[in-house]
Structure 1
Amino acid sequence: MSKIIEIKKKPAAPWYIAGAVWVVGALALPIYELWALGLVAAASVAALAAAFKLCPPVIEKKEVPWFTGREDADEMLSHIDADRKRLRALDERIPDDALSAAIRRMEAACDGILTQLEKDPDKAPQVRRFTNHYLPDAVKILTLYADMEETGVSGENAEEVRRQVEANAAVIATAFENQLDSLYSAAALDLDADLEVLKGMLKGQGLVE
């Protein structure tokens, strides 16, 4: 979930003070001479250091969608959350009851994965393949199905896509649930076999290489 974080930045005032030292030095001393130039430079550095000690840092507040302290986990959380929302939208677009039930299972698994990954961001490597490949691929094939249903596309290829999606959606949902289950165990489950059907479907339709 989104959080407000504080970002500390160095203040700009010390640099203005250091610049002012140079201006005053140029007016008061012949800085074209080496000794004067060195004196002004030293005074400017001293003023800069003192100003940084005296001037408090500038604190900016920024809202971020996810913040665990681990950058790769935050990025995965954002991607999973975005695809979870796409699944929810697809559920509303697809009228088939059995397919909608499978999509809701996928969405619920994503909710659980988000919770576990936010709680323990060190589990990020366990869900990298799921985040980068399996989840977006599932969204892609379901989006294709929804588009065909809405446009009324017919033909042998279209019917084959529909048949494959409807026949295997529950298998994909189970694989998503297995991914969630793996986060509760010490060792991650090997999901390749469970999700091979999804990969085969996408390849068969020319959606992935």
Structure 2
Amino acid sequence: MAASADPAHWRGLHHLALVTADMDATVRFWHGVLDARLVATIAVPAFRHYFFEVGPGCSVAFFEYAGQELDSFAKPAGVPYSRAAQFDHLALQLPDEDALNRMRDRLKAHGCEVTDVIDHGFLRSIYFSDPNGIALEASWWAIDPTGRAADHADERLFGDPDPVPAVRELRESGQVSHTVSTRLVDGIIEDLRREGITLNYPR
């Protein structure tokens, strides 16, 4: 199955929605430490929703729910943890190694713990956390695989010696043989309704 005769025209990350228990600390870290400008805010009785720019048209946004106890956790990037079933860490892109070193120095200057630069071959990274315990990475592409045709046989970029079947199909024919279908997650909506919470959730 080819990618598409009419491409989707993705333009990057619009926003990734995360959760904070302390929006003030979140603004002070994301805007003040990381220099990811606060560019928009929404507030309704149930929540605040603040957006931080991480590139043209791209943002990371946080919800702060009113009167809601949060069962939060913190974990390092890439470390298995049963409570982190769907989200591991967020990696933000920088243009080159100099910018990566400057971000590492900026984090240290603000009293934030951060790793040394890690060489992953096709990318270089540093790792740190935000005040919510969200594992963060800042990276630059040493070999940028985006914006060009993919060579699935290039071992510099495709280093898994035993890839999943879909990657084998891409390597052999340039397309996947079939796709998968998904469904909306209604279970939690029903749980909330039983607790007397009604959401406007269009189907």
Scaled by the length of structure 1, what TM-score is found?
A: 0.22
Structure with more relative contact order (C-alpha pairs < 8 Å, separation 6 or more): 1
Structure number, greater radius of gyration: 1
Bigger fraction of residues in strand: 2
Bigger fraction of residues in helix: 1
